[in-house]
Amino acid sequence: MKVYTKTGDKGTTALFGGTRVPKDHIRIESYGTVDELNSHIGLIRDQDMNAHYKDILIEIQDRLFTIGAILATPPEKEVMKNGELRLQNLGLLESDIELLEREIDTMEESLPPMTHFVLPGGHTTVSYCHIARCVCRRAERLAVHLSHNEPVLPMAIQYLNRLSDYLFVLARKLTFDLKAEEVKWIPRK
């Protein structure tokens, strides 16, 4: 299999099932941003940290490939059941969202309560988490935008929403673990 196909040289690309769309189509922006997020998660995973966090991040990366596949599948390629469109979850499960929620709850147990917004930074690994969180929020916004025009599996959007929360709490937990300074944002008076 060659890496280059030359089929996209005129500004179009193929979705799952072969439908061709412009490369700036909202569907391409959606799953392309999920791919970008996955790369940022890989960068976080490459940092020196607890093996448990790395295991969870690998699980997240796998789920992001699934979400990318969900977003790359146009409605005309989805399954019809009883004459109604049935969006495929391609293996994305409610338990994937529950895993993120459990991880958030566990990390928060050892953290001081938040009293202010925090400024991103304090340690390179923490900053990578904040960058990934922002990319995740963008991926979520794009998936929501796509859902205004075409059906999108609601669970995919919910997963991205919960993942951004996870990345925020992971940033706080790593700040704590690395004994970095968490700088509170205090507005000017």
Per-residue model confidence (pLDDT) at position 17: 67
Q: How many CA atoms lie within 13 A of 180 on its CB side?
A: 20
User: Closest Cα partner for 135 from 24, 23, 60?
Assistant: 60
In 10 A of CB 62, how many CB atoms?
12
The pLDDT tens digits of the residues spanning 10-34 come to 776 666 766 777 577 898 899 999 9
The pLDDT tens digits of the residues spanning 76-86 come to 665 555 555 55
Per-residue model confidence (pLDDT) at position 95: 96
Per-residue model confidence (pLDDT) at position 11: 78
User: Closest Cα partner for 44 from 182, 171, 177?
Assistant: 171
Task: List domains and CATH numbers for the chain.
Answer: 20-77+90-180 (1.20.1200.10)
Q: What is the pTM of this model?
A: 0.89
CA 16 to chain centre: 20
Q: Which residues contact 97 (CB under 8 A, 6 or more apart)?
A: 155, 158, 159, 162
pLDDT under 70: residue ranges of the chain: 1, 7-8, 12-15, 17-18, 22, 76-88
Torsional class of 158: left (φ above 0), alpha (ψ -120 to 50), beta (otherwise): alpha
